Amino acid sequence: MIRICIFLQFITGLLPLQLSSFEQFQNSMRSFNATSIGKSAGGLDIPHVTVSNNGPSKPRVGFICNVAGNRLSSVNICTSFIDAALIHRDPQLVPLLSNYNIHIIPNLNIDGSQQAFTNINKGTSNARGIDLTSAFPDLRENVQVDAGNVPPEVKSVLDFLEKEQFQAVIVIGASETGITFPLFHVEDDHEGIIDDAIHREIAKKAYALNPNLASSGCSVGAGQGITNSHSATFKRKTDSVGTLEDYVYLKYGALTFHFCVSCSLNSDTDVFEENVGVLKELIRSSDRGLHGRVVAPDGAGLRGATVAAKDHVVFAQDGGYFWAPLVVGTYDLKISFGSYPEVQVPTLAVEERTQLPDTVMGDIDPVPTEHENFVQMNKTLHSIHAQYPAITDLYSIGKSVDGRDLLVLVIGKYPDKHVPGIPDFKYIGNMHGNEVVGRSLLISFSKLLCKNYNTDPRITRLLSTTRIHIMPSMNPDGFEAAVPVRDSYNTNGRANAHGEDLNRNFPDQFHRDEEKTREPETEAVMKWMGTHNFVLSANLHGGSLVANYPFDDTVSGLANHVYSQCPDDTFFKHVSALYADNHPSMHAGVACNLDGTVQFPGGITNGNKWYPVTGGMQDYNYVFHDCFEITLELGCAKYPDGKFLPDFWSDNRVSLLEYADAVHHSLTGFVKSSEGELISGAEIHVKENSKSVKSGTDGDYWRLLVPGVHEVWAEKGPLRSKTVEVTVSDKYQVVYNFTLYSEQSRWNETEHYVFEPPQTPESPALEIPVRVHEKIVIVSDTDRSEGVKVTFIKHGEVDENTSIGEAITCYINGEEVVQSEGNTVAVQVKELSTVEFQGASYYRATKFLDGTEKSVKVRLFPLPATLGYHSHAEMLNTFQSIVKECPKMSWVYDIGTTHKKRVMEVLRMSAGDSTTGAENGNKQRIKLVGGIHGNEAVGRECLINLAQYFCSSYGHDDLVTKLLDTLDIHFLPSMNPDGFAVAEHDNWTKGRGNGKDYDLNRNFPDRIAARKDPLQPETSAIMKWSRDKMFTTSISLHGGSLVACYPYDNSESGARVYAGSPDDNTFVFMASTYAKSHPTMYKGERICDDDRFVGGISNGAHWYPLNGGMQDWNYLQCNTMEITVEMGCNKYPTEHELLQKYYDHYLALIAHIKNSRQGFWGKVTDSAGSAIEDIDVVISAPDVGMNISARHSGQFWRIAAPGKYEVTFTADGYKSHVHHVNVGHVSWAELPEPIKVVLFMDNEDIKNHEDSLSRETKMEMLMRRYVVVAVLAVLVVAAVVMGLLWRRKKRREMERRSKDIEYKGLIADDSDSE
């Protein structure tokens, strides 16, 4: 019987979906996991289904069905399309799903359809009696619409269209057959649109794919089936004002069609099967004509760029992608964006589908073709500063011999001062006055940076994270002397006005000439470098084509062409090659050899290897100021004609950007004392490298290093840090904060610091059930760049003789990638991948890396297809649903009420506890808090959905099962439900505060500042809750940026400085774990209007200081390690965006929960094995920071970053106990071993209680006894040896005395005989 039922279900699934009732329609929407774009006038959700989502590079198509209300045939065809695409993966539709972004609103007038399902002649209006077919704003001239009476359905769909920006919109209707297109309302009897030809061509082709349309007897256009909607041949011959179709076309320029699918309002035939070909052709219309991409000079897409072909104008969308609906023909194309020069593509031949190569916008300003003299250059620099005062500063570091200012233009987000944590970089040009190319390049480079800030993502990121100093001319006197001659090779103007070569005038490490006169230009640069902590620099010269690096001379000073290696030779070669490789010809190394032979392999050279220079500036930078500088020879002609300057700019632009960005190829951070004070002048050392660099006045440092593993430490005077092993990347800075100690015992410790995602220990293959057609995410715990090859082995439902390829279809990010071999399917996975399977229900995953079997862990996570916002009541109902579904592991309790008397409910989840909900005192408690600001709503919904996932996955997912078995997890999704109730999309302030408009994240008692506002009920409830539960870890989910923040949130001075806590290393580890588990946060890219966050994390005060924050209070008052996560730029995104936010964050949330087990834990008892009750047991670990207290049950948990710790347990009336702990990276599946500690009373004899001791304690005591016995034995042996030696000495003395006596006796006898 069961098999018969399954067979009937299978057959039923192949039949067309026919809707016979409104309830059936609603059920189908639930089965599709439909989201809602808003509410109807009658309060019903207007459903929306994302059929496929392939990112910005694919065109977007929207279907809007049943605007009229009783056109149920349109509801049927749209619902059937969704069913065929998502559930049955109809082979006719599968190719479309990976090439187009398809969205469907299957029933816009849902109020009307509810009536029509009962009576087909009703339902032509919404619940307020408004006809939606004419309720849209009419954009034609002199036509007004009552804006105050816009129905909610119209408002919702207008918001939806604005967000999606479709290339094609198909409105589905019924009561006739055919395809019509705008305009519906015109001023004359007939008016065609600009895109009339392409609309007519597409409509005609699509219409022909269903012959039944023409023979229906109700075809539009006098039976022809296609028409401009207002044409006199149109059946209705009516002038329709306020149509959806006209609005879409006139507002967005999208291809817009109205497809009437049936003469019947509610056809009993399979309208989908009859018209599937028409639908496919209309979908494919979205990329008809010309498509391409508009990018900035660095390759970043330019959203909003204008693409014009004759009278056809479209705008580039996300990523710079555009689609222009053009008929076959030849067009003169014009592409523009902001202040970029217009790009013109004349006589472009456009076929049915033509892809244009990426259009790279040129430089904003044309490069000058004449050299500027000093007065002109001065004017240009002042003009740049005046035009961009917010991101530039202009100052003089001194004057030349002839009194000309040595001008420096500073460009950056913080141009007028050094900001701790942001490196200073410099370019210097025209050191030799007759080498002029660098002078012009640096002026053009300055314009490029300024005019692209907040436009070009890469340049914006660079200026937000770097302070760039540009000196176009170090020798303006020499340049003026060189002007009249305009030589290319001779030396006129090379020296300054005193005739001195400035690149031979600096102090030299090998040849100290204290009596040498320093020129004014040299003195100014030396003083400048003494007041700025420059990290990286380049000096632009001319006369050859090569990147030259230290050292420039040797001890002898005469060893020409001998390689003079500096301690950082590998880095200098790395960064010199970076410049040369990005130059179109420098990397070839030919330089100025006319015969084409290679002079400089790779386009780089060691300075002395080329020729010796004594007193050069690049060696002075490196040796005396820790600034890594290279010298760039930009071309064979020192003073070329100005007409060649654009070519020089084209050759060097990318290299100049890449080299400036290389200042971040470093290890960076702060140097602090063990008390947390910042230390300037500390030396940063690298093992096997004799060069050290010093921390700046703010304690910040940068140590430029080649990618790889390095052992580093810091020291100053009697203070030194432990040695740290770090892995440096060339893709991002690695952040590490040194702590200096006075105890020499700490200096020899070595910490292995991993900034990149840690490797996961080996683990067995993972088996979990995966439902048919369910989307899952596969993420490897290995390095992101490696990727993982995953093989899925089918279990059940498929006969052993059936090829897996016949049974399973696998899609990764919408692309079909199945590769079958026997009864397995292998897919290649990199980073985060969304994977969808069809045709099976159970898989076993085994792992392979580069073809070699290796036990790396692969996580499989089901994802919801849709996500929506919950009202407060809906959230509470969801909690009850979770409790009902998982009654043995979930409970709800409230912690208080808000100003508006809303209940603050907490969902507690923990498996294996009492079914009554009594908490297990032996479990670690953690809390997850969202919505402290009511309008920052992403965290709220992520926590609700994460709780649902935990409930449904327990027993199936090994990690979730382990977490719930071992942790006590408390969810508070909405700390500020009053604020959420009034919040609005895209409103950054409304709903931020609570019901009294107080900011709850400024309302907690502060360690520095007194609270200004009265304590709010929400704050009070959180404080009591936190103190009662003694949570180990916590996370607070915010919005408005993309970063993980950690304490402290403020500093004593109130300034924006790094304010690390005693547990700074552990907080950095926690924040980094979250950031590295997010697909983009760890990159630290500037995607919001903020700073760039290195590694995706930030100290709170270093970002911006705030008083009264929750995370500091939790840490200081409850020993709870809390971090704050900003989940995205948009605080209250639409439901469509919300789903992507959940995809991005839920793995990171799980990683944070897992990280709660990071550290050490255990139980403290007395000698009888009983918990030490009513006595706080203080655990003090020198490297951990804050002390914590054990619970009354004796249980303790301490979060700690990987490392070695010495932990001391003390309690009043008990002997202290020292325990050594080695904390590693917590694995997905294993808990660290607990520490068992026994404390003895002060007057208690330990020996009498040995039987009650743990094995570890016994071993420790036994080792101590061994030591004592060994020491005693050594002392005894020493005493015996000393005794024997003493006796031997005495014996010899006795023998000597006896001989003396005998000798004296003989003498006496002789004298007597005489």
The Cα–Cα gap between 1088 and 735 comes to: 21
Residue 232's Cβ-count burial label (10 Å; 0-12, 13-18, 19+) is exposed
Of 1025, 1188, 1214, 1208, nearest in space to 1110 by CA: 1025
CA atoms within 13 A on the CB side of 908: 26
Among residues 196, 165, 166, 162, the alpha carbon closest in space to that of 181 is found at 196
At which residue do the structure tokens 């207290």 appear?
Answer: 1189
Q: How far apart are CA 888 and CA 872, in angstroms?
A: 25
Instruction: Give me 350's structure tokens.
Output: 């456009």
Three-state secondary structure of 505-557: CCCCCCCCCCCCCCCHHHHHHHHHHHHCCEEEEEEEECCEEEEEECCCCCCCC
What is the CA 992 to chain-centroid distance, rounded? 25
- Candidates 880, 869, 885; CA nearest to 931 is 869
Element (H, E) at 852: strand 852-853
Residue 700 CB coordination number (10 Å) = 23
Residue 336 pairs in a beta bridge with 306
Q: What is the DSSP letter of 412?
A: S
d(CA 106, CA 47): 7
The catalytic residues are: 633, 1126
Q: Are 973 and 1244 in contact (CB under 8 A)?
A: no
Size (the chain), residues: 1314
986 dihedral zone (left: phi>0; alpha: psi -120 to 50; beta) = left
Q: What distance in Å separates the CA atoms of residue 53 and residue 713, rounded to the nearest whole number?
A: 49
**For tokens 């840490």, what's the residue?**
1115
The encoded tokens of residue 710 equal 């390095």
**Burial category of 294 from C-beta neighbours within 10 Å (exposed 0-12, middle 13-18, buried 19 and up):** buried
Give the whole-angstrom CA distance, residue 161 versus residue 1025.
44
DSSP conformation letters of 135-148: -SPP-STT----GG
The answer to whether the beta carbons of residues 219 and 213 sit under 8 Å apart is yes
> Half-sphere exposure (CA, 13 Å, Cβ side) for 234?
24
- Rounded Cα distance between 1112 and 1007, Å, is 8
Q: Which residues contact 38 (CB under 8 A, 6 or more apart)?
A: 45, 46, 152, 153, 155, 156, 157, 159, 160
Give the span between the Cα atoms of 592 and 598, in whole angstroms.
9
User: 1210 has which bridge partners?
Assistant: 1178
Round to whole Å and give the CA distance between 41 and 149: 12
H/E element holding 228? strand 226-228
Nearest to 46 by CA among 145, 172, 160: 160
- What are the residues whose beta carbons fall under 8 Å from the beta carbon of 733, sequence distance 6 or more? 664, 665, 666, 667, 668, 1094, 1095
106 vs 99: CA distance, rounded Å: 21
